[in-house]
Chain A
Amino acid sequence: METVLILGATSDIGIAIAKKFAAEKYNIQLAARKPAQLEAVQSDIKIRYGVDCTMHAFDALQYHTHSLFFDTLSPKPDITISIFGIMDEEDEAFENWNLTQRMIDTNYTGAVSVLNIAAKFYTKRKNGTIIGISSVAGDRGRASKLIYGSSKAAFNAYLSGLRNKCYDDNVHVMTVKPGFVYTRMTENMKLPALLTSTPNQVAGAVFKSFEKRKNVIYIKWFWRYIMLIIKNIPEFQFKKMKL
C-alpha cells in the first residue's frame, strides 16, 4: 500500500484530499502546525477506510526543520501533497509588511523548502509524485489579490520548473489550480455557485488527475478558459480593469 503525505492537513481541502486518498486505500500521513488538532481526523480516517493514518508536526515557516521532518517520516511517502497556504486581507497586507512577508514565506518559500527535500528524495529513488495545490490567482497579477496572487504565481513557476527538472527521473509533478472553493475561509464571501467547488470536488478531481498523471489542472473545466481570457487581455487594457 502506498503512502500519501498531506502538508497542511487542517484545511478543509487538506482533510478532503486525505479522505479521498484513504478511501482509495492509501495510507495517510497528516502534517500540520498543530497536529494535536487532527486526532479526530486520524481516528475518522482509520475507522472509515481501514488504512493507517499518522500525525506529524510541520511548520511551513520553520525552514530549518524541514529536512529533519522529512527524514523522520517512516515509511517515506510515495506522494507528497502541499496544500498549506494563507490568504490575508490584501489591503491590510499592503499596509503591513509582516503580513505580506508571512504570506510570501508560507505560500512560496515554505513550499519550495519542503518540496525541494521531497524532490531530492524522489529523484534519487527514481519514483514519486509531488502535487502542489496552487490557485487560479497565480495566473495573472491583479490588484484584489496582489500579494496572494504573486506568491501563487511564483509557486506555479516553481512547480512547472520542478516538473521539467524531475521528468527524466520518473518523478511526476502536478499543479492544481482551484478557483473558488467553499471552505471556512470563504464561508462569509458571496461566491458564484456555478464557478465554486466544494472541497470534496477538489479532492475528487485531484485524485482522478493524479491517476492520469496530468500536469496542470483547473477544478471545473471552464476555469481554464476563464483564465485563458484573463491572461490574454492586453496589459494597457488590463491595468484599468477592476478584477
Chain B
Amino acid sequence: MKKNIGNWGNYPVIESNEESFVFDEQLDVLIKEAQPFIPRGNGRCYGDASLGERTISTLKYDKILSFDTEKGIFECQSGITLDQVLTVIVPAGWFLPVTPGTKFITIGGALGSDVHGKNHHVDGSISNHIIDFDLLLASGEMVTCSPENYPDLFEATFGGMGLTGLITRVKFRLKKIETSLIRQKQIKAANLQELIALFDEYKDYTYSVAWIDCLKKGKHFGRSILMLGEHAALAEISENDRKDPLKLPKNKQIVFPFNLPSWVLNSFTVKAFNLLYYTKNFKKEINNIVSYEPFFYPLDAVLHWNRMYGKSGFVQYQFVLPLSAKDGLIEILHRISDEGLGSFLAVLKVFGKQESMISFPKEGYTLALDFPVRKGLLSFLDELDELVLKYHGRLYMSKDARMKPGMLVAGYPELEKFKQIIKKYNPDGKIRSVQSDRLLLTAGN
C-alpha cells in the first residue's frame, strides 16, 4: 500500500510503497522484486535523498552483532540508530568516533551521507572509522567492502546516498572515553570576523561549532557563540559525578505536538529566538562540565522540532567553501540577512582536510541554514548556488531537495568516477531516488 512520506524537512512529501525486513531471507525476497527502490533509514536526511516510489526501510534490521569492549570495535546491522548504540557503548567507556547533530539517524544512513561532526577537523568524517561493511547490490549479490575488498564500492558508498547498494552490516572503531561528560567552553563573538579568528585560535579543541545569528545587521553582523568541547577526564569531574562517571543522560524529551501554521515563523520570531539563545550567555566566556547529550544533541531534546516550520516544510541549505573564501562566507551571509527569508538556526563549522569521491566534507567553512518553504524561496536558493559556485564551494546532498544537476557537477570534481561506479553496480537504476533522478545520477536519465 502506498503512503505519503517525507524526510526531516517535510519537503518534498511523496507517495511511496514502504517495505521493511527483519531477516536476510525477507530482504532477499524484497530485492528480487522488479520495482526500483531506495534504501531508507530513519528519514533524517532533510530532502529527497531517501525518497522513491518504493523504499526499503532498514529500521527493523537493527541488531547488534558484536562489541569488543577491550578494543572498542562495534559491529551491527544497518538499521540501528545512534541513540541505541550510545546506550550500549557509553556505559562500557566508549563513544561514537563521529556524530552529527542528531542521534536519531541509522548507522546505514551515517555511511550513506558520510556524516561529519564537531570534530571533523581532528577526526574526519565517519568513513575514517569504518573497518568494513556488507553491501547488497542491485543484482542481489552480497559483497563485503573494505579498503582491500571492492575498494571502489568502499569509497563510493560513503556519501553515495544509498545508490551503490543497500548497506546491511557495518563494523567500526569507537573512541575511548573516561567519562560520559563534556568539558565545555562557550565564547561569545561580536561579529563574524571575530568568530573566524576564534575558530583559528581554538583549533586544537576536539569539538568545535558555532551558532550564528545570521539576521543581525550592522556592526554586529554575524554575532555568534563558539562552542568548544573535550571529553572530560576522570580527574576533571566532580566528586559526585565520579561515583558513576559513565552514566547515561536522563531521558527527558518534549514532543513538539503539531505543525505550526507557517506564518508564525516570520522574521520576528526568528529574531526573538536568536536573541534568546544569544543572551543566555551573560559572560564573554563560560566554562562548565555538561552531559554529552546537550552538547552534541541540543535539538534532540525536542522531538519533532521540524514541525515548528509548519506544514509546508523547510529546506536546509548547507554548503562548504574553501578556507581562502572568507569573503564568500561574508557575502553569502549578507545575502541571506538582506533577504530575510528567515533561518531559525545557522551553524558554522571549520572542516579539516578530506580526500573524497562523493563525500561532502572538504577543507573549509561549512554553513548550514534552515529556510521554511514559501514563495520565492527556490529562486533565492538558486541565487545562493551561484554565489557558492563563485567561491568554489559545494552543497551537501543529504540536506538537498532542490539543487540542479549542474550544481552537483560543478561542486564535485570526482563525480564522473562516482557515476561510473553506479553504472557498474547499479546499471539499470534498480536503486534510485527522487534525488538521484533529479540529479541525473541513475540510469534512464
Contact = CB atoms under 8 A, between A and B. Distances in A.
A91 interface: no
Given A40-B77, A187-B18, A189-B1, A12 B64 contact: no
B379 interface: no
Contacts of A40: 63, 65, 77
B25 A37 contact: yes
Contact of A47 (B22, B23, B25, B66): B66
Contacts of A48: 64, 87-88
B382 to A, nearest CB: 38
Interface in B23-75: 23-26, 60, 62-67
A155 to B, nearest CB: 24
A22 B165 CA distance: 33
B25 A43 contact: no
Interface string A1-43: 0000000001010010000000000000000000001001101
Contacts of A188: 1, 19
Contacts of A47: 64, 66-67, 88
A44 interface: yes
B20 interface: yes
A18 to B, nearest CB: 12
A190 interface: yes
Nearest to B69: A47
Which DSSP category, helix, strand, loop or mixed, fits chain A's interface?
A: helix
Interface residues of A, number: 15
Contacts of B67: 47
A208 interface: no
B64 A187 contact: no
Interface in A189-208: 189-190
Contacts of B23: 10, 37
A12 B1 CA distance: 19
A242 interface: no
Interface in B263-305: none
B66 A12 contact: no
Contact of A187 (B20, B24, B65): B20
A12 B88 CA distance: 22
Contacts of A184: 20-22, 26, 60
Contacts, number: 39
Contacts of B19: 187-188
Contacts of A37: 23-25
B113 to A, nearest CB: 24
Given A10-B23, A37-B25, A190-B1, A43 B18 contact: no
A237 B66 CA distance: 58
A187 B18 CA distance: 8
B65 A12 contact: no
A8 to B, nearest CB: 13
Nearest to B17: A188
A198 to B, nearest CB: 11
A37 B1 CA distance: 27
A187 B25 CA distance: 17
Interface in B188-208: none
Contact of A15 (B18, B21, B22, B65): B22
Contacts of B60: 12, 184
Given A47-B88, A184-B60, A10 B22 contact: yes
A190 B88 CA distance: 35
B114 to A, nearest CB: 25
Contacts of B62: 44
B5 to A, nearest CB: 13
Contacts of B1: 188-190
A44 B64 contact: yes
A44 B63 contact: yes
B63 A41 contact: yes
Which 7 A-B residue pairs are closest in the complex by CB-CB distance?
A: A44-B63, A40-B63, A188-B1, A47-B64, A44-B64, A37-B23, A47-B67
Given A10-B23, A12-B22, A189-B1, 4 more contacts: A40-B65, A41-B63, A44-B62, A187-B18
8 contacts: A10-B23, A37-B25, A43-B65, A44-B64, A44-B65, A48-B88, A188-B1, A189-B1
